[in-house]
Structure 1
């Protein structure tokens, strides 16, 4: 089941952190960079993020999360994470699909991920995103940017 998460609730923010930290630790290992910002988030920073969050729940437990902001017809996807115990179950795809279905009036989605995070890069390409660029952020950390446009 997918439902909105009230991220301004400390309990719900703490629940999100229980998904976010292990998920982004996997990404940090894949890209060999351990200072990615989501790893230093706290309940307080999530509560103040201004992002809209949805969660995927299985038997009452949070297994995956998607968050975004909307501006001028664009959905800026900030987080798409699944707890490692639930990888390869289609949860990320379901969260992305729900986000798109709930926001049909927006005609563009953007997202960034570690360029060496091959599973994430493949996921976005498989789901209709095209790479729009890549930039070096710190040392060897390269971030790949993706975009998906709806037919207008």
Structure 2
């Protein structure tokens, strides 16, 4: 079972604090819906509900990486320089965890390619040969340590 994970978010959290899930709320607040699904999250969620109901809903999940190296690479590639890296754990370790290569999804996919990629995303168990693995579950994160501010 995964024990320590690595999470990127705004600075200011301290060990012992809880980082609540907020990803889906941020998308809804930003006005995303199925007719304006620029990054494909709602399309991906529709496929999950229909074909992979045992997988966690990304819109109600916390996200982390299995290695500090993967977190640092993601932070660099996504230009999230002002954010901190934390060592974390899932608060409720009984929730299903989905493990996937975070580079699998491309926001600019459309139509059948987006649908096929969504199925591949949900079938994935994450590559064993890659350090670029994202894990997510429908639970909050507990901050264990601050690695960079």
**TM-score, normalized by length of structure 1?**
0.25
| Higher RCO, 1 vs 2 (CA within 8 Å, ≥6 residues apart) | 2
Q: Choose between structure 1 and 2: higher strand proportion.
A: 1
**TM-score, normalized by length of structure 2?**
0.25
Q: Choose between structure 1 and 2: higher helix proportion.
A: 1
